[in-house]
Amino acid sequence: MKNCNFLKLFMLASLFLPTFFANAQSKLDKQVLMTIGDKDITVKEFCDVYYKNNLKSDVIEKKTVDEYLDLFTTFRMKVMEAERMKLDTSSKFQKELAGYRKQLAKPFMSSDDITDELIQEAYERKLKDIRASHILIRCDKNALPSDTLKAYNKAMDIRKKALAKGADFAALADKYSEDPSAKGMKATAETPARPGNHGDLGYFSVFDMVYPFETGAYNTKEGEISMPVRSDFGYHIIKVQSVTDAMGTIQVAHIFLQLPFDAPEENVAAMKQKADNIYKELMDTDGKNWAEKVKQYTDDKGTIARDGALSPFTVSRIVPEFIEACKSLEVGQIAQPVRTNYGFHIIKLLSKSGVNSFEKERQGLAERIEKDMRSKKSEEMVLKQVKNEYKFKQNDKNLEAFMATIDSSILQKAYEPSDKVDMKATLFSLGGEATKVSDFVNYIKEHMTPQKFNSPATYAYQLYESFSNGVVMDYADAHLEEKYPEFKALVQEYRDGILLFDLMDKEVWNKAVKDTLGLEEFHQRNANKYMWEDRVYASIITIARPESLPKVKSLLDSGIELDSLRSVVQRDSIPAVFVRKGFYQKGDNNFVDQTEWKVGVRNEIPSTVDQSTTIVCIREVRKPEQKTLKEARGLVTSDYQVELEQQWVKSLKERYPVKINEKVLDKVRQLYK
């Protein structure tokens, strides 16, 4: 009996323990942790930020309570200073905050059920890369039913042709597609020629195309042709060329040999031979000489310092021929030269991310869906929920009476209400607030546009639907902070962040850029931090044609001034000679690195893949020396900004003295021990 009573007491105590600790935590949350200036900071204010930005986030180096308290204190002082300077009252700040709030509100203005379905659909599509072609028959999204039917029938006729045995889809796209990219573009005085894609849209994945097109493509099997798919652009007939496992985010390095898409065949053959020779040299060392060959041969000068590495990309960002080569590779492998409209590429696959698990991809997909047109499904559900929650009630009698007064002037953007319109009549009520006919009339005047394919009644009801839905969603948006405390906290966080950025720009970043005298003085005090390594001043002469080499060597043997060489080459019309000069450190240029760094040395380096020769002339050798302010301005400015911020924070601590309640702080330490 005693044991039963003890067990009963233990179970009751267990039930009440969570409540006890919750109450204790609630009491601690309300206690003042510190005072900054004249502002009290509660435990909850600090702990909410500490947990979110330090414990819950994926930061590599977690901060202790004391370490984060110092960062938090400095942050709060800066925000208080921004408020003292009234930066939060500027129109620029208000506009920027409103823009961020609009973005932050989207997850709170969507239906979780619909969103979950869309996330699952998006994930399944992300697992595959599709390559497809299409034929577009244009049709305005507001076209009259008769015009819509005409466009649909035309699309169906073309589809029948595409399904015929031996049909050439690319040829049909050239002939019928109303997508300008299919046929290409001839050169003009302002723009170069652009080849047509014959309807081939290349590779894409989820979110790369408008949602209806994406759905049509993913619902069509490889090798098959879809029924006409309707989008805002018109009707698409889609042929899926291939469906492959998704590569995800790809990074490659390449050696690029530039060649116009319309180059003569002999030029194409010569460039292909050069590319094949470079590839052979790479294979002779199993690719170990990749970095060396990039420096020697690539025409993509912006990637030389990164050994030819391009920025990471997805399949929709690069021409399909390039992607085809990537898909044939494993990480570390080098593909045989591939030709695109830009020239030849020798591609080395550095990495491919593939697709993560659903759990890891979920948040990113949700964020993309918020910005995509498919989010309208979720918005429609929210609209229904908001109408129910805030008791939306439409006055059909007043609405029909007003609509009866609409005439064709609305189609010419010339609508004016007649005297018969009762401007004070209620169209609908929401949350106990009435929306009048006058509100809708003002909306019409502001938003109506000329219509070619609409009737007055149809267009008026389209405007009304947009107007009433907007009023409903605006009402819900205006009540988000009171309905969702977490949203209120998020908006506050962004508000403070924008203020901090504006203040830092004013007090530190922009100040350092404009303070010329201060920057010069800082550079003088710290000149030893900004040094050049050993350098040479060299001229690099590239002779692309063998017949020009003796002429250039003869000019150099004659003692011609190197600065005059370029003008003499132009004067004597010596073809395919390119001269550049400048200072070089080790690693800046492969040809300079192969040359002895001694004044007067001349080094002749023949190419191993084509008929060119490069001559390097060493003109000056310099020991390590200090960089001028002009040469090191970027680094100096950055370091000067750090010093300015340190001085500024010191002054803020004097203006906003900090008092910490050590007893309360100790409780917080124990909480996160």
Average pLDDT, the chain: 90
Task: Enter the DSSP assignment of 627.
Answer: P
> What tens digit of pLDDT does each residue of 98-127 get?
999 988 988 788 777 788 899 999 999 999
333 contact partners, CB below 8 Å, separation of at least 6 = 348, 349
Task: Enter the DSSP assignment of 429.
Answer: E
What is the model's pTM? 0.57
> What tens digit of pLDDT does each residue of 165-199 get?
999 999 999 999 999 999 877 767 676 667 889 99
Report the alpha-carbon distance of residue 576 to residue 614 in Å, rounded.
12
Report the alpha-carbon distance of residue 348 to residue 333 in Å, rounded.
6
| Token digits of residue 329 | 């590779």
What pLDDT, on a 0 to 100 scale, did the predictor assign at position 150? 95
CA 339, 345, 348, 349 torsion-angle sign: negative
Task: Enter the DSSP assignment of 608.
Answer: S
What angle separates helix 43-50 from helix 65-84, to the nearest 10 degrees? Answer: 110
Q: Which residues of 164-181 are buried (b: 16+ CB within 10 A; e: fewer)?
A: eeeeebbebbbebbbbeb
Q: Which residues pair with 446 in a beta bridge?
A: none
- H helix and E strand count, the chain: 26, 19
672 three-state secondary structure: coil
| Token digits of residue 15 | 């039930």
Ranges in the chain, pLDDT < 50: 1-2, 4-22
Task: Enter the DSSP assignment of 52.
Answer: I
What pLDDT, on a 0 to 100 scale, did the predictor assign at position 7? 42
Q: Which residues of 93-124 are buried (b: 16+ CB within 10 A; e: fewer)?
A: beebbeebbeeebbbebbbeebbeebbebbbe
* CA 526 and chain centroid, separation: 38
Report the alpha-carbon distance of residue 544 to residue 576 in Å, rounded.
5
What pLDDT, on a 0 to 100 scale, did the predictor assign at position 373? 86
